[in-house]
Amino acid sequence: MKIRGIFVTVSAVLLIMSVHTAYAADAEYRFTHNDHDTLIIGTVTELGGDTMSIDVADYIVSVRDLNVNAPKKQLRPKTVRLTEKSVKRLHENADSGWSTAFSVGDSVVASLNKKGDKYEIAWGFFKSDGTDYKTLSVEAYSPSTAAMIKDFINSGGKNTEFSFNGNIVSRVEMRDGKRISTVIYNGTEAESTSGEISEGKRLPEPESKGLSDYSAYAVVTAAVIAVLIKIIIKHCKNKNTAKKTGHNN
């Protein structure tokens, strides 16, 4: 294998890993870390084939920013009008069965970015059962995701780190230098999007990756790089040895 081929392999592996990392939990992580212009709670007041207006009742601002060096300014609009593209996307999701259809009067929780005088969907748009952030629940593409979003919203943006282990969702917190996991959803029980919190239950360190477990990917990435570097060094040594042998002959 030539050096160029090895570097191509390194690049390909790192690219695949970065895509996998982003796919695994990127949307939810961004949703809970202010990677949008606003996160609103409101009521749908107008709805058409390509129009939707929302009266905003409240806002959620996470205690943690995705980019601490350049945090996004969290806007507080009183009324939101969605872009035509976003409205059509919602209708398409409902038509395909990915979500229930929206109606005038529905309560929603939405991550949005400003585009001109309108807003487009950023990292999530969910139907909720009310506009009181302390008690509301949401409909999501899975009960575990609904539980995570509920816990984040009900905390007013304070609970931002979560771990998924099979059907179990845990809130992850640091207390007195210790990592504490509290179960907020257990999929082995009756399926529900209510996400009732089981307070004070300590769990061992989750084995599976979660929204805050990017360190695991860093370790794997470092290991892959180390192995590939070792291969390159070995290849170079073998090449030098072959040259010396040929020269001596």
Mean pLDDT of the chain: 79
Whether 203 has a pLDDT exceeding 70, the answer reads: no
Whether 237 has a pLDDT exceeding 80, the answer reads: no
pLDDT tens readout for residues 1-55: 555 555 555 554 454 444 333 333 588 999 999 999 999 999 999 999 999 999 9
Highest mean pLDDT among 5-14, 153-162, 236-245: 153-162
CATH class of 32-136: mainly beta
Whether 206 has a pLDDT exceeding 60, the answer reads: no
Residue 82: beta bridge partners? Answer: 119
Q: Domain segments of the chain: what residues?
A: 3-14+216-248, 32-136, 143-211
Say what the pLDDT of residue 90 is.
96
